[in-house]
Structure 1
Amino acid sequence: MRLVGDSVYWQHIFYKSQDPTFLLLAILWYALYAWDESLEALYNHIMPLESDVLIESRVEHTRDLHSLQAYLLHYESFLHGVQVSVFFIQKTPNPAMESEVFLDEQRMTSDELMKKECDNLLSEIDRLEKRREMLSKHLKNVMDLAFANVNIRDSASMRQVTYLTMIFLPASLIASVFGMNVKEISPGTLGTIVLYAQITILLTAFTFYVVVTLQTHTSFHERGASLRKRAAWPILLPWKMLRNMATVTWPHPPGKANLKRTYFRRD
């Protein structure tokens, strides 16, 4: 109330109108100011949180993001309640102004001021609601980014498991074959360690060859290569490595021999 009394703007309104409803409007204005500061503080909290999510996504980040989203939904209900109150004040005149003490000119002036202040309040509520929606969308983007980072890490882990499976699966298959109790293997003891190692290495190499051939994005062949070129990657890879090798003469002080080094150029 002290802030309202110190405000020249509100003093001017109270001088023109004796409607006590303007005191309620002043209280609503300061409530909206507090909301504006809260949204600003919320924005300052979301920005560093977004930077942390870009670096590393943790479970604590997910909990914080959901808590902030709940706060924004809570603010939405409060803003809607204030908007309904302003609409009610705008459409429902104060019965005290119908007294014979007030002249028609005073009522008209008070109604004009009331309509103006209610429109200003509704405009400010609309601005805060748009800002709240912007923060909600920004927060949703951060949440999607956090989930995307988690999915990428899970995909990388599953890729490593797939590679390990690719290495051990042929060996497990051959061990199972040699472990079968059939006459083709058991009677003559044909299943030796040497034969097992030979077949396992060949089958592992063939599996690796098939996996690399079917992949469209890998360092063993060029991006967008046809299936025929991808199938010939064991032949093209050594030629590509020899082609990328280059000899560079490094600068040296006068009177010393040139130092030549060989390196692999990165495309």
Structure 2
Amino acid sequence: MASKKHRKSRLKKAGAAPGTLVYIGDIKTQQPAIHILEYGAESLHEKQLTQAELAHYQRPPSCKLWLNVYGLHETSLIAELGKCFGLHPLVMEDILNTNQRPKVESYGDYLYIVLHHVAYDSVSDQLQTEQISIILGRDYVLTFQERPTGCFEPVRERLRNGRVHIREAGTDYLAYALLDAAVDQYFSTLEKLGDECEELEEQLLHAPNNQHLLQLHKLKGQSMELRRSIWPLREAVNQLVRNDDKFFAVENVVFLRDVYDHTIHLIESLEAIRDQLGSMLDIYMSSISNRVNMEVRALTVVTMLFMPATLITGIFGMNFDSMPWLKNPNGFWWTLCVMAFVASSMGLLFWRRQWLSRH
């Protein structure tokens, strides 16, 4: 569900021309940062740039470039990068709109890829979703993130450690490695979600309450959020596997197929969790219904135990001159004994038929 800040940002953009740069999203880092990796088979140069330094930055002709941006709320920074790399205005607009669905678009000289980084925050007990934009050129890769998440750090370590294959391969292999790192993050998130579902299921089977229902609805919302990210991602990766625009070398397409298999696995795991959540809701409703039935049955038994006493009391309360035990000094106590005997007999009958059991 979109936040109020997102709705306000959309209102600011309403009626604007296509390609107008307006940031839609929450500010998740105070100051945007630009991280650059220039690498080749035998060299690696890593540095940070400011927005002022970006205007004078010159790419080395013999090195491959990976430029990563943290923080997207400075539209002037995105505009400057668009000017340096010749990005289409619609691409820059989509980078700033952090509510994009995963997709792949070709702009002739480069590919534009959108996906989401989803991680489970144990502190807030919520899913944290960040949009990631990847631009794959012939000799460069640009990545845009809302905030530092550590998602791409394993890829940086492989470059720093001098892994031969990733250093010698083209930027298409780097784009694959970044995509694979982002997709792998979903497995840990789904595993955490699955563990919570199993724990909640055990609690529902023993003593369901309103807090469990709230937890169940929260998990269903998180599964829906994951579904909105994973299902379009499968189609985007499938489009990369087809490689219609020939941005990926033939030997690297097989790696993209592996990423596609991972997305299929994620979808199957997510659907299993969604089915489990649906069955858990049925368990909760059945448990509550069974509890109500037990309470109604208990009230019914109590009512039936007192019905004979009420009947006897009504009979002896009639205004007739001639009534059994009416003149007997012990008539009152005999009447109470009859009431107690009937109630005890009925209670014993209910107990033998297990009507008084809570299970």
Q: TM-score, normalised by structure 2?
A: 0.45
User: Greater strand share, 1 or 2?
Assistant: 2
- The question of 1:37 aligning with 2:176 is answered no
Shift of 1:211: 5.5
Aligned to 1:186: 319
Contact 1:166 1:208 in 2 (8 A): no
> 1:52, 1:207 → 2: CA distance?
36
Aligned CA distance change for structure 1 residues 133 and 112 (closer, same or farther; 3 Å): same
Shift of 1:164: 0.8
Decide which structure has the larger Cα Rg and report it. Answer: 1
Aligned to 1:137: 275
Write out aligned runs for 1:213-228 (5 A). Answer: 215=353
> 1:11, 1:129 → 2: CA distance?
33
Shift of 1:202: 6.5
> 2:178, 2:268 → 1: CA distance?
22
Aligned CA distance change for structure 1 residues 170 and 188 (closer, same or farther; 3 Å): same
- State the secondary structure of the residue aligned to 1:7: helix
Identity %: 18
> 2:302, 2:214 → 1: CA distance?
34
> 1:41, 1:208 → 2: CA distance?
50
Aligned to 1:161: 299
Aligned to 1:251: none
Residue 241 (structure 2) aligned to one of 70, 90, 93: 90
Write out aligned runs for 1:164-179 (5 A). Answer: 164-179=302-317
Contact 1:21 1:94 in 2 (8 A): no
For residues 223-242 of structure 1, give each alpha carbon's deviation from its aligned partner in whole angstroms, at most 9, with x where no partner exists. xxxxxxxxxxxxxxxxxxxx
Residue 25 (structure 1) aligned to one of 164, 176, 185: 176
List runs of 5+ in structure 2 lacking aligned partners: 1-151
Write out aligned runs for 1:1-267 (5 A). Answer: 3-7=154-158, 12=165, 15-16=168-169, 18=170, 20-94=171-245, 110-114=249-253, 116-179=254-317, 185-188=318-321, 190=323, 192=326, 194=332, 197=336, 200=339, 204=343, 215=353
Contact 2:308 2:342 in 1 (8 A): yes
Aligned CA distance change for structure 1 residues 41 and 208 (closer, same or farther; 3 Å): closer
> 2:201, 2:306 → 1: CA distance?
41
Shift of 1:176: 3.8
Amino acid at match of 1:186: N
Shift of 1:80: 0.6
Aligned to 2:5: none
Q: Give the length in aligned residue pairs.
A: 197
Shift of 1:93: 3.0
Relative contact order, higher structure (CA 8 A, sep 6+): 1
User: Greater helix share, 1 or 2?
Assistant: 1
> 1:212, 1:54 → 2: CA distance?
26
Shift of 1:27: 2.7
Shift of 1:68: 0.7
> 2:196, 2:348 → 1: CA distance?
50
Amino acid at match of 1:12: H
> 1:153, 1:175 → 2: CA distance?
33
